[in-house]
């Protein structure tokens, strides 16, 4: 009940101007005075590309085989010998058009699932900074700063594979606007029998304040994370926490001079059953401590996430 009241309290604050939206299209809310933003994303296969879901995949392939920009040269350089031949011979009327598209989708998804694709030189001609979420993810990942390979490998492991995959997908989308379909940010479809994993990213928006996160692992036992879940019928669901008996305590810092972002993955269906067909509305909350000199606790509210539960067929 306390979590629910906190959620509604912050929604009302947003309505009267005590909370600010970094970008109205992203639905990312946080208290204006805290400098901390929480983003809730669903982990799903939608992070991967599909030819039949693209806006203009044939146009993308025609562009890719001719373009001289650094991103296109990077993509072409990642192709296998067979994929390179298919791309070179591609035309929208070719008999092997479908085979080529399937091969190129596989090549793109190989990049999505690999190392971070971003370098300043590679993406200098791409207008990625106009996307608020992408700009935050690039800067907060800090993957572009050092050239030391060991650091990059370690940092990608800290961010987690899900985070790096989303970053790669969004960067490739930005490189080919109007050709590759934009990935859903805050909505997903889930079969009733499938588990729901969500990713929560905590971002320090301030330039100097350091915030502490005292967390319990596994995260499903961490009572400082709260969820408000409204079912398709309008029923507010109860989130059942496992008793904290064997978890581990950890203190992490959101330090703008080191790491401005910390992400967590939570299996939401482990603590809450989504047993109705239709659209669920999900918010996450997190209890935080203020910066040094003002350790007063406050609550951060995430963006809303919509999960459409369908039958298993």
Q: How many domains does the chain have?
A: 2
Per the prediction, the chain carries an average pLDDT of 76
| Residues 98, 208 within the same domain | no
Q: Does the structure show a pLDDT above 70 at 61?
A: yes
| Residues 156, 219 within the same domain | no
Q: Does the structure show a pLDDT above 70 at 84?
A: yes
Q: What is the pLDDT of residue 25?
A: 28
The answer to whether residue 240 is domain-embedded is: yes
| Residues 191, 119 within the same domain | no
| Residues 147, 30 within the same domain | no
Q: What is the pLDDT of residue 229?
A: 93
The answer to whether residue 131 is domain-embedded is: yes
Q: Does the structure show a pLDDT above 70 at 54?
A: no
Comparing 253 with 44, which gets the higher pLDDT?
253
For the segment 125-184, what is each residue's pLDDT rounded down to a tens digit? 998 877 766 776 777 676 765 566 677 777 777 777 777 888 899 899 999 988 887 766
Q: What is the pLDDT of residue 36?
A: 78
φ, ψ of residue 15 to 5 degrees: the values are: -65, -30
The answer to whether residue 150 is domain-embedded is: yes
Domain extent, residue 298, equals 2-44+186-310
The answer to whether residue 180 is domain-embedded is: no
Mean pLDDT calculated for residue range 45-72: 82
């Amino acid at each position: 009940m306390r979590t629910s009241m906190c959620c509604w309290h912050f929604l009302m604050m947003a309505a009267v101007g005590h909370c600010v939206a970094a970008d109205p299209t992203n639905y990312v809310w946080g208290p204006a005075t805290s400098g901390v933003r929480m983003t809730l994303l669903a982990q799903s296969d939608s992070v991967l590309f599909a030819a039949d879901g693209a806006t203009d995949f044939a146009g993308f392939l025609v562009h890719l085989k001719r373009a001289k920009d650094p991103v296109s040269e990077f993509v072409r350089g990642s192709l296998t010998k067979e994929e390179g031949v298919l791309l070179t011979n591609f035309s929208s009327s070719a008999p092997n058009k479908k085979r080529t598209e399937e091969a190129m989708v596989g090549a793109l998804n190989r990049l999505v699932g690999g190392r971070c694709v971003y370098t300043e030189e590679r993406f200098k001609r791409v207008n990625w900074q106009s996307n608020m979420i992408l700009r935050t993810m690039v800067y907060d990942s800090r993957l572009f700063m050092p050239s030391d390979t060991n650091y990059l490998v370690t940092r990608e492991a800290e961010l987690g594979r899900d985070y790096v995959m989303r970053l790669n997908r969004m960067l490739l989308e930005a490189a080919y606007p109007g050709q590759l379909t934009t990935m859903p940010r805050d909505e997903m479809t889930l079969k009733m029998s499938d588990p729901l994993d969500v990713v929560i990213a905590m971002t320090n928006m301030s330039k100097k304040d350091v915030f502490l996160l005292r967390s319990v692992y596994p995260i499903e036992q961490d009572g400082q994370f709260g969820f408000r879940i409204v079912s398709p019928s309008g029923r507010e669901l109860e989130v059942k926490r496992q008793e904290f008996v064997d978890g581990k305590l950890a203190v992490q810092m959101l330090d703008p001079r080191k790491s401005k972002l910390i992400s967590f993955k939570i299996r939401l269906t482990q603590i809450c059953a989504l047993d109705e067909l239709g659209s669920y509305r999900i918010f996450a909350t997190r209890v935080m401590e203020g910066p040094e000199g003002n350790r007063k606790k406050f609550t951060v509210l995430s963006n809303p996430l919509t999960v459409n539960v369908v039958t298993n067929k």
